[in-house]
Structure formats: C-alpha cells, structure tokens
Structure 1
C-alpha cells in the first residue's frame, strides 16, 4: 500500500465526526473530491475489517465496533482516566457544573473526558468533539500557550475561512497574550450561545502545553460570586492533574508545541 493510498484512506476516516457521523458513498466522494471507484474500494476494505459499518437500508457508512476496541486499548495503556476521574468528579461536585478535559491534537482541541454536574441544565457537548483553537475557553487557553507563528497560522486560516469567531487578528493576538499572562481564560457564548466556561492550562512531562481543564455550564449561573469560587477550584486541582500528566506521554499530535513561544 502506497503512502498516497494510506493518506486517502485516513482522510476518509477523518470525515466521520460527531456532527457528521454517517456518509453515503457518492456524497463522500464529492466531499473529498476523490474518485468514486477509489472511495468505494477503501470503504469496502474498512467495512470488511470492521472499521466501518454500512447500513443495509440507507447504504450509509458509519464508524464500526472496531474503534470501540481500539479506544479501550488506548485507555488501558494510558491508565490515566482512573486517576483523573476522581479529581474531575470532586470539582464537578464542588462547582455544581460540568468539568471538561480537552487535549491538543494537531491544530485542534478534542474533548476527551467530560464529568457532568447533577444540574438539570448542563454542558451539552460530547467526548470526541473537535473544535478550532480560537473557539471557547477550553481551546483558547491552549492557543495562548502555542508558539506565536503557530497562533498566526491558525488565526489566518480561520480568517481565510470566514470564521465568525475572529473579528480582528490583532485583537485576538493581544487577548491570547493577556490570557497567557493571567494563566486562565473565560468565555461566554462562543461554543454555544448560552454556555460559559473558565479554563486553565495543562502541561506534559516536558512542560509543553497538553490541553486544558474547564468548568462549563449555562452562563446565567456564572454570577460574579460564583466566578470568584470557580478559579480557585480549578487552580487547587490543576497541580494534581499536572503531576499525573507529567509522568506519562499522551499520544496526541503536538510536535509543533516543542518550539519555544516567542
């Protein structure tokens, strides 16, 4: 199998997301601007191996059970979440809001663990959801700790795509500098219109940015009084989490984060 074939196969898997979990053969070929026959061959191979499942009636493809097995392998190998879960649960109980662990992967943030609060109205997101790093506190705090040339690259791409979350490149860069100086980030109405979040950074064993820990919920519950309680809760527990994360290697794509921030 050539590297081009592998690249095409992986680009097909990449389009199966929380927002777009099912795809038909023709719409997938159009979306990727890829030859229909090649797409069909790759889909058939993935289906045969259990990585994809084709619904017999709709003829649409979705991710298969094989990914649940692989996810279990990753979690067992890392053995991280058994250590992280109690910390996140304690924060969720104390704050009365959802707690979110976000990990940097390539140039996006991925929600890898969410501990819900016991409130009726909660943070409405799902594990595996990806987003650009200039959207929401949990992602923006990560962007603040990346090298300046990577920040500019990510922001320029967002501007080129006409993303509504960037009103000014200069103002966003200034805000990122301010976030980095404070060591925390607050946003409201970015990921969802009625959601607010406080986030603090997480670092790996090389003291490079790994991700973030956030407390999130409906913004009407984030009063000034409650906000003053949330940051100490996060900062109180962040050392415990960083201590755990500094002892392992998290298998996410972060090669560019080894460059010194300028």
Structure 2
C-alpha cells in the first residue's frame, strides 16, 4: 500500500478480521479471531457486530462461530463480470517482451483448452504462428501446461481420462505417466517448459497467474529453438517470474 494518509483505521481492522476468517478452514470463534489479529476481544466483538449488521459476516451455532456473509457472492460476481486480466497484465507483459525480445502470449482456461487473449510480437524478423482467440491443447503448450499445474488431483485425473494425447510433433508427450511427471515438475518450480511439443523448433516457458487459490490465466515466452541458449532460457525464467509476481501483486 502506498504511503498515503489513511482515513478510518477501523476499516483496516475490519479487513484484518475478514482476511483471517477467509483463511480459516473452520469458522473461528471470537477468541481465535482476537488472538490471530492482535486485537482485544472487546474491539473485535464491536467490529464483528457491525460487520454482521452489514451482512459481511455471519454468526452461527451455540459456539458463535463467524464466517463471511453471502453478500460477498454478489460482489464476486460483479468483479468477475468487469475484471479484465488482459488490461491488467499487458503493461507487465510488454516489459517482459522488451526484456526478452521474444513473443509473449497471454491465455485463459476455457473448455479444456488454453484460449489466447493477446500476443505481443517479438521485434525479431522471424514471427511465430499463433492466433488470438485460438484454443491451444493444454498438454502440448507452455500456457496449457502452466494451467494444468494449477489443477487439483480430481481435475487433473478427469482431464487425463477425457483427453486423447495425440502426437503433434516428434517431441509431444503422449504417455500419461510422463505427462503427470512433467506437470508435477511444473507445479513445484512455478513454471512449465514446452520443448518443441506444440510447434516444431519452438521453445516456450509458461507461467500461471494464481492468487488466493484462483487461476486467472497464464502467459508464455516463445522463441525459435535455434536462438535459445542456456543463458537465454535462464533469462526467460528470471524475467518471467518478475512479470508473474508483479501481475499477481496487481490483482
């Protein structure tokens, strides 16, 4: 948060209380909220009463456990209907394109495909083929594999059981066990690498955009294999992580 004069410190206290409630697997009681927000119980109780009056929290059961109110469902629908990941991410992806001098793609998950929302071309004379609005296979593309790395176990198993792993290029992964291992590696390191699996002689590095358990999309850096040396790949990962963290922070 920028260093600005803040009006209404109680709003920040209310936010801290709701943030804590949001992270709890089981609705907390007053004592737990007080202990974890570093506020005395009297202050917390007064704020909770006001939040309950506004519909922001609910108090239920004999133990008086607090959970977020259903009013947030309406807020979330409004946010989702007006939110534009393309507009938010584009300044950071433009910087990424300028830092790497390679093509940057942004996509979202839609109907078991990665649909491209935007493409920032490399200044190089050699252009890579991809169309805005086109759906990419999840298992062959860097953006797609990044999105797969955000799937939970049930979602990933369902994808594997309903998707035929076709051979698109000589490097395409068509063995389920190998794909599972590849996605697990991507999940652990926070990015996915596509080594000529979707287009011959094209290497891509993909990064998921995830915050608070919600996946907003993914982006990738794409380049012809002949000009990607080890140091170039390291820079793709370095600058990609920077862009990823800045986009997530801006969400």
Shorter-chain TM band = 0.5 to 0.7
Counterpart selection for 2:105 from 97, 100, 105: 100
Question: Scaled by the length of structure 2, what TM-score is found?
Answer: 0.61
SS in 1 for 2:123: coil
Query: Cα distance, 1:81 vs. partner?
Result: 3.6
Counterpart selection for 1:216 from 222, 232, 236: 222
Aligned 8 A contact 2:85 2:216 in 1: no
Question: Scaled by the length of structure 1, what TM-score is found?
Answer: 0.59
Matching residue of 1:232 = 238
Q: Deviations over 1:89-119 (max 9, x none)?
A: 1111110101111111232111111111111
Bigger Rg, which one: 2
Aligned 8 A contact 1:196 1:217 in 2: yes
Paired positions, count: 167
What is the RMSD of the two structures over their aligned residues, measured on CA atoms? 1.9
SS in 1 for 2:209: strand
Aligned 8 A contact 1:136 1:188 in 2: no
Matching residue of 2:154 = 149
Matching residue of 2:123 = 118
SS in 1 for 2:163: helix
Query: Cα distance, 1:239 vs. partner?
Result: 1.6
Aligned 8 A contact 1:158 1:166 in 2: no
Query: Cα distance, 1:212 vs. partner?
Result: 1.1
Query: Cα distance, 1:210 vs. partner?
Result: 2.5
Q: How does 1:32-71 map to 2 (within 5 A)?
A: none
SS in 1 for 2:194: strand
User: Structure 2 vs 1, CA of residues 112 and 172 (structure 1 numbering), >3 Å: closer, same or farther?
Assistant: same
Matching residue of 1:88 = 93
The answer to whether residue 188 in structure 2 is matched with residue 188 in structure 1 is no
Query: Cα distance, 1:227 vs. partner?
Result: 0.9
CA distance in 2 between counterparts of 1:90 and 1:84 reads 10
SS in 1 for 2:162: helix
Gaps of 5+ in 2: 1-80
